[in-house]
Amino acid sequence: MPDELFTHALEKLQAARESPCVPCKICGGEAYPFDLLDFHKSCHSATYPLGLSAIPVIYRQCQQCQFLFTDFFDDFTAGQWQRHVYNEEYAKADPDYFVNRPHSNVRFLSTFLAGLKPALVCLDYGGGNGLTAELMSRAGWTFDCLDPFGKTSISPDRLRRYNFCSAIEVFEHSPDPAGSLSALVEKSTSGQLMILIATELTDGVVSNSTRLSWWYAAPRNGHVSLYSRKSLQILGSMFGLDCSTIRGGPILLTRGFGQRQIRLMLLRDKVVRQWIESKILGRLRRFESKRPDPLPTP
């Protein structure tokens, strides 16, 4: 592990000892150290595909909105992000990032936005290599991409016209949630707006007894911000946006939409996902039932 990163970690530990309480990045409440993770902890099924780093990363929890975050990366330069996180080894921590997830995103977005294609001017925020936006565009959607560390393909004539923004597996990577949401709002229309955020929520899965044994708490993946539903409601309200979500589904930050309309979209999405899952499960069961019995052991 580079000496630069180890020195950085020591400085953060010393700062936490001297000032254990810092303001929450979302609501300004008191945020104290909650858990300490190894820098190489990832979302990969192996958890540590790169081995232990012996670099400690402190995560804090806000006492008011339950937002969990680390300030370990707050002063990282673009070069440090690319050297230590989004480097050639990133695929070992997140093997679906480059191909599988963009295709999955397209299937999800096409279903979720069914029937709305003519009305939407879309921006995929944090779109990585731009594949999600590219595939959506090929399918006839008006879709651009914006990524601070990847591909950006914004059409100048569409600025301030975007009325749908997707941020799929993105906001957990942001060390500045308000700044990231501001970047989206600034490029969007001043009228009806829908921002879809797909991230895992801490509600019901993180507690004082479990701490951050949660698989989604993963510094090596760049998961530096972990949201409760309450923290996202507060974040949205800072920009005049309503927050709506349903268990297991995406989060919608909206302006100018009726709650009934948004609720129906979320419910439809949940029903469709359950139907798809049941079809897949049914096929697996039929496959298993047709498999020949194993030969008896002599």
Distant-in-sequence, close-in-space partners of 104: CB < 8 Å, separation ≥ 6: 96
Q: Which residue has the tokens 């001297």?
A: 18
Q: Is the pLDDT of residue 289 over 90?
A: no
Average confidence score pLDDT of the chain: 93
Express each pLDDT in 107-129 by its tens digit.
999 999 999 999 999 999 999 99
Is residue 16 very low, low, confident or very high in pLDDT (cuts 50, 70, 90)? very high
Looking at residue 286, its pLDDT comes to: 63
pLDDT at 292 over 70: no
Q: Which residue has the tokens 């999955």?
A: 104
Sole residue written with tokens 């297991």 = 248
CA distances 120 to 32, 189, 269, Å, are 42, 11, 18
Asked if pLDDT for residue 279 goes beyond 70, the answer is no
- Average the pLDDT over 10-39 and give the result: 97
- What residue has token string 């697996």? 284
SS3 per-residue string spanning 186-224: HHECCCCEEEEEECCECCCCCCCCCCCCCCCCCHHHCCC
For the stretch 210-268, pLDDT in tens is: 999 999 999 999 999 999 999 999 999 999 999 999 888 999 999 999 989 999 999 98
**Confidence band (pLDDT; 50, 70, 90) for 291?**
low
CATH code given to domain 96-199+239-275:
3.40.50.150
- For the chain, domain boundaries: 96-199+239-275
Cα separation, 233 vs 245, whole angstroms = 10
Question: In terms of pTM, does the model score above 0.85?
Answer: yes
- 46-55 pLDDT, tens digit per residue, is 999 999 999 9
